[in-house]
Structure 1
Amino acid sequence: MTSVVAAGGISVTIRGPVVDESETVLDRLVSDGVPGSLASRNAKLWGPDAAPLAARRLGWLGLPETSRSLAARLAGPAAEARDAGLDRIVLVGAGGPVLAAEAACRTAGAALTVLDTTDPHEVAAVLDEGLDRTFVVVAGESVEADTLRRVFGRTFAESGLRGAEAARRFLVVAPAGSAMERAAHEAGHHFLQSEPDVDGRYGALGAQALVPAALAGVDVHVLLDEAARLAESLRQPYDNPALALGAALGSSALGGRDKLVIADHGSGLAGLAGWAEQLVAGSTGKDGRGLLPVPLEGVDAPGFELTGDLRRVILGRRPDEPGPAREAGVSVAGPLGAQFLLWEYATAVAARVMGVDPFAEPDVGASEESTAALLRSEEGTAPTVVHRAPELVSGAVEVYAPGDLLRGADTLTDALETLLEAVPDHGYLAVLAYLDRLGEAGAAELRPLLAARCARLRKRAAPVTFGWGPRHLHTTGQYHKGGPQNGVFLQITGAVATDVPVPGRPYTLGELQLAQAFGDLRVLRARSRPAVRVHLRDRKEGLAQLAEALA
């Protein structure tokens, strides 16, 4: 059975048993008046407890129109940067807007350097290249945004830039009245106000995402036009692809299929899956419920097989073409701007179906508080964790595990297989790599290796996700701690060869990164999530050892 809903340049194709389930949910959504209520920004859609926050978080519905004013607001800083020959745009920040800007630039072929990390190796490499042509966009108020703004400011000064010449190389995009706005004015940076009623997860068409994309050369009016065409259908009951996708996601969760395998099949929309991952996981993963997105390298990647509780979503140009797309639970096709609005709307609808507040982040602050506590330690970062004896040492790799989680594991392969065996039925393994996303990109290859090993070891597939630290804290971190109690975690940290001091702070980037890793590890373990830390005493050699152990 197949159902196709198309409007506004988007096509959503639903196949198989999920058609009947999603149509039942869709009929209920229509009878409840959800399309009209959501388009009218009814904050009560998610219940009375969620209404006060929702009332301040629904501005994303109007962004296809309101964001058109950004061009005029950005004209001054853009002209100043252009006249100064600053054609290398570096975006620092964290969360949804950063991922949206990255997806927009990758899809359009525009050059944008993204730093949403505290890894000193990755940051140092960006600082060492093209500093004389660099213009920095600071998005939001995260610890990454503030820290990297400070690091770039000191680096500009050390290169010989002083006063206004250095200060005007920054454009801060943040809410009015925020600490980041005050810092921008005090330092003499350009400042552009972001929307007060849009949070980061739903801000793909807002200022924090579109400003850096526009500076990098993306025609953001094309994105807004694409979204606006879809917006015309959002009040409709049945010819509404966003509502259909939301019903499919919500019905899958209600049916116990709470893993959302996402694979690209020729969409040309680079980075969309990663952005959708943070949106769906952060919006739905709370109160012991949630949908866990599992982005894969492609339709041929290990883990694509549809088994048990897994639901597949294909991102493609032609959802009806032969091959794996025809077997998928859901196929989605359409341009990037419309996809941003589609997934935001669908996720908000799915959250209503699941009975969760899509805008609350009840568990995100726990890791931040744990990190802050470690940084306040008189002895530095987490001495009790740093100096604990590892359960296993193999070459450049040290393995740390609580209790008897890895009891009996004598080799690195044994340890990894024991961890895979600890994944419960209907559970998942999350790999969290606090490493250099650019220089150590090969770490991501551990995901398919672990998925393939898991399939051989357990005679069935189990979802394996991969996230860079600390990026994942702002993407899937809410789900990891607030979602279903069925996750197992493999955290990877690495030795720092050359550290980077943070001006105005009593710690370096390496110390901050380690505190973020330990802070999150503490929270995971405190919530009875099985978590193992692997530390690479030599990053290159250690990654090679891990790959060899899984080969």
Structure 2
Amino acid sequence: MTSLSVEALGAAADAVEAHLPVLVEEKFASRLFAQDATLWGPEAESEASIRLAWTGLHRSSRPLVGEIAALREELQTRGVHRIALCGMGGSSLAPEVICATAGVELVVVDSSDPDMVRSCVQDDLAGTAVVVSSKSGSTVETDSQRRIFVQAFVDAGIDPTERVIIVTDPGSAMDQQSRADGYRVINADPDVGGRYSALTAFGLVPSGLAGVDVGALLDEAEVVADLLAEDDSANPGLRLGAALGGTQPLRDKLILTDRGTPIVGFADWAEQLIAESTGKQGTGLLPVVVGTDGAAPAVAGAPDASVVALVADDDESPASEDVPSQINVSGTLGAQLLLWEVATAVAGRLLGINPFDQPDVESAKNAARELMADPSDATEAPLSTDGAVEIRTAGASLDLGTSADSLSAAVDTLLAQVDPDRGYLSVMVYLDRLAHADLAGVRDPLETRLGRPVTFGWGPRFLHSTGQFHKGGPEVGVYLQVTGEPVADLPVPGQEFTLGTFIAAQAAGDAKVLADAGRPVLRLHLADQEEGLAQLTAVLGSG
């Protein structure tokens, strides 16, 4: 008996029936686990050749288990009982779901928002150790977070080398400098990409230090590894991948819903894995995370959507007759981490793209760097101000006309751009996601109002996730960006910029890249966060 189950219904079942025999005949599964880099075509081969070691992590990561346990004991003798994680994308999302599912605390500092970073640093610093995770060692968000924590430790009279643990690829600039400075460094497998790194040091070190039994997590993956490597029609990885990426015509909106799964927050991790891996060359799969009520969302029956229900192992509830394409997935966390990585690789094959690169993530980073060099470009004058909300667009991607004078009218004009057949709205919020978590509640009324999928992402973390799909996927998205004046800015030690300057450049840079690609963007800046949020929620929550 395995700990995985994949059930495809309707159009998803048709996709499995159409593609599974070919995948089995081509020996896709066994070749994947043999790290065959030719599976995605010649253009992807060079990247794939250094990105497939994740297929064996259930074995190769075993030496980390004892090292993490020893380090946890060492930190506890120093009074540490709180673990904070500085990291972005795959470096933070996997530990977040691992720890939440295990019921242990992990403070995930994946933001450039000065208010959020400040609150994470100031809360119980004396009892805190920090894991700084960056594959390249050059991620600006992570480096800035590291600098701020180190300075806080120094100011508090705490030796930062006893409280900061570095996780990075061997030979990176962060690896070399951190070792020279006396920090504890744990290297991750360099042949694993960030979003496939859940079972590397990036996922295991912060989770294990926080108190998760990471050996058991590897056990869960090992139990299903042979099954996922089999060239057999029962292979759940092949079945899920075919259901996700093989529908005809392509159902490229994946409505991820929690229907009783014991895994907490899994859809947020899957969102990043799928969107960043597949959203390129004008195609891809857009995960739409809809929450935990288990109800079929308003767009479940759309012809371009499949409902993906994350269910409990003993779930026996029937699928809704109103849902023409549904996939039910169950299994333990470790098993599902490996399952979805396999399925994403399969979907990439069926979509004809390289599932291991992220070209448009880099374009947004470059645009942000240019704006950092001239910050005035990130804060151009608004078209108008309505109460506490400044209204802007980006480039010529959206013509507000006379609606520019009113927040409500500007939002109406943007929403009118959503294609009723294939379009989606993305709400992108660059605020403190811990303090303003309730703002994500605007997603449901907006989706009901539009009758189309609506995604909600916290910036800058979504830039390492759905941000790739926004720019590289099909040109059917409409984008609402929300930024805010911080309560207080926060300088970055050793740098000439502040976090407030940086997050403004990230938002403006992303808006510019979207606009240059012809995507409509409405930018709303809250000059006063409390008043602006009240205005915004009133407008976005209206029917």
Residue 522 in 1 paired to residue 512 in 2? yes
What amino acid is the match of 1:311? S
- Partner of 2:42, secondary structure, is coil
Q: 1:129 deviation in Å?
A: 0.9
1:419 maps to: 414
The match for 1:56 is 50
1:384 corresponds to:
377
Give the one of 350, 366, 369 matched to 1:369. 366
Contact 1:292–1:479 under 8 Å retained in 2: yes
Residues 404-459 of structure 1: per-residue CA shift (max 9 Å, x gap): 522232532222222111012301111110000101112211211211222xxxxx
Question: 1:304: Cα distance to partner?
Answer: 4.7
Name the counterpart of 1:458. Answer: none
Structure 1 counterpart of 2:449, from 453, 478, 485: 453
Aligned residue among 423, 432, 438 for 1:436: 432
Q: Any residues of structure 2 matched to 1:396-407 within 5 Å, and which? A: 396-402=388-394, 403=396, 405-407=399-401
Output the CA distance in 2 between the equivalents of 1:311 and 1:541.
38
SS in 1 for 2:227: coil
Pair 325,194 (structure 1): closer, same or farther in 2 beyond 3 Å: farther
**How many angstroms does 1:13 deviate by?**
0.8
Aligned to 2:152: 155
Corresponding residue number in structure 2 for 1:200: 194
Residue among 485, 489, 508 paired with 1:499: 489
Q: Quote the residue 1:538 is aligned against.
A: 528
1:281-292 equivalences in 2 (<5 Å): 281-292=275-286
The alpha carbon displacement at 1:325 in A equals 9.8
Tell me the distance in 2 between the aligned counterparts of 1:176 and 1:384: 37
| Aligned residues of 1:303 and 1:464 also touching (Cα < 8 A) | no
CA contact 1:77–1:190 (8 Å) conserved in 2: no
Q: In structure 2, the residue corresponding to 1:344 is in which secondary structure?
A: helix
Equivalent in the alignment of 2:307: 312
Q: 1:300 — aligned with what?
A: 295
In structure 1, what is the Cα distance between the partners aligned to 2:319 and 2:242?
25
Aligned positions of 1:260-339 closer than 5 A = 260-298=254-292, 299-300=294-295, 302-317=297-312, 318-322=314-318, 324=320, 327=323, 329-339=326-336
Please state how far the C-alpha of 1:292 moved relative to its aligned partner.
0.5
- Aligned partners of 2:305 and 2:34: how far apart in 1? 34
| TM-score, length basis structure 1 | 0.93
Residue 457 of structure 1 corresponds to which residue in structure 2?
none
Relative distance call for 1:91 and 1:301 in structure 2 (3 A) is: farther
C-alpha distance in 1 between matches for 2:299 and 2:95? 27
Corresponding residue SS for 2:429:
strand
Q: How does 1:180-195 map to 2 (within 5 A)?
A: 180-195=174-189
Deviation at 1:76, TM superposition (A): 4.5
Task: Tell me the residue number matched to 2:239.
Answer: 244
* Residues 305/20 of structure 1: CA separation in 2 closer, same or farther (3 Å cut): closer
**Which residue of 2 is the match for residue 3 of structure 1?**
none
Q: How many aligned residue pairs are there?
A: 530
- Once the two structures are overlaid, the 10-residue window that deviates more, 412-421 or 206-215, is 412-421
Cα 1:498/1:385, change in 2 over 3 Å: closer
Q: In the aligned structure 2, how far is the partner of 1:466 from the partner of 1:241?
A: 29
Measured after TM superposition, the shift of residue 385 of structure 1 is: 4.3
Q: C-alpha separation between the residues in 2 aligned to 1:30 and 1:326?
A: 32
Q: 1:159 Cα shift?
A: 1.3
Partner residue of 1:511?
501
- Look up the match of 2:477: 487
Residue number among 334, 350, 353 corresponding to 2:350 in the alignment? 353
Cα 1:198–1:325 shift into 2, 3 Å: farther
Q: Distance in 2 between matches of 1:405 and 1:449?
A: 25
Deviations 1:322-345 (A, max 9, x none): 465995610001111111000000
Structure 1 contact 393–399 (Cα < 8 Å) conserved: yes
Aligned runs of 1:116-135 on 2, under 5 Å?
116-135=110-129
Percent identity, aligned pairs only, is 44
Is this contact kept in 1: 2:299–2:452, CA < 8 A? no
Match of 1:473 among 455, 463, 475: 463
Which amino acid counterpart does residue 492 of structure 1 have in structure 2? V
Most deviating of 441-450 and 300-309: 300-309
Distance 1:297 1:100 in 2: 18
Match of 1:256 in 2: 250
> 1:386 deviation in Å?
1.3
2:141 is aligned with 1:144: yes
Q: Take 1:12 and 1:302, find their aligned partners in 2: how far apart are those partners?
A: 21
Is contact 2:382-2:391 (8 Å) kept? no
Alignment partner of 1:49: what SS?
A: helix
Amino acid at match of 2:391: V
Alpha-carbon distance between aligned partners in 2 of 1:232 and 1:532, rounded to the nearest angstrom: 48
- Is the Cα contact below 8 Å between 1:261 and 1:294 reproduced in 2? yes
CA drift at 1:499: 1.1
Give the equivalent residue in structure 2 for 1:173. 167
Deviations 1:193-236 (A, max 9, x none): 11111011101111111110000011111111111111120232
What RMSD over aligned residues (CA atoms) do the two structures have, in Å? 1.6
Partner of 2:339: 342
Matches of 1:204 and 1:366 in 2, distance apart?
25
Displacement of 1:22 in angstroms is: 1.8
CA spacing shift, 1:421–1:356, aligned 2, 3 Å: same
- What's 2:385 paired with? 393
Moved more, 75-84 or 466-475: 75-84
Residues 496-542 of structure 1: CA distance to partner in whole angstroms, max 9, x if unpaired? 12111101110111111111111111111111111111000111221
| Contiguous gaps of at least 5 residues in structure 2 | none
**TM-score, with normalisation over the residues of structure 2?**
0.95
Could you tell me which runs of 5 or more consecutive residues in structure 1 were left unpaired when the two chains were aligned: 1-6, 455-460
Distance 1:80 1:466, change over 3 A: same
> How far apart in 2 are the matches of 1:314 and 1:58?
27
What letter corresponds to residue 269 of structure 2 in structure 1? Answer: W
Cα distance 1:325–1:272, how it changes in 2: closer, same or farther (>3 A)? farther
CA contact (8 A) 2:388 2:526 kept: yes
Distance 1:144 1:389, change over 3 A: closer
CA distance in 1, matches of 2:382, 2:91: 40
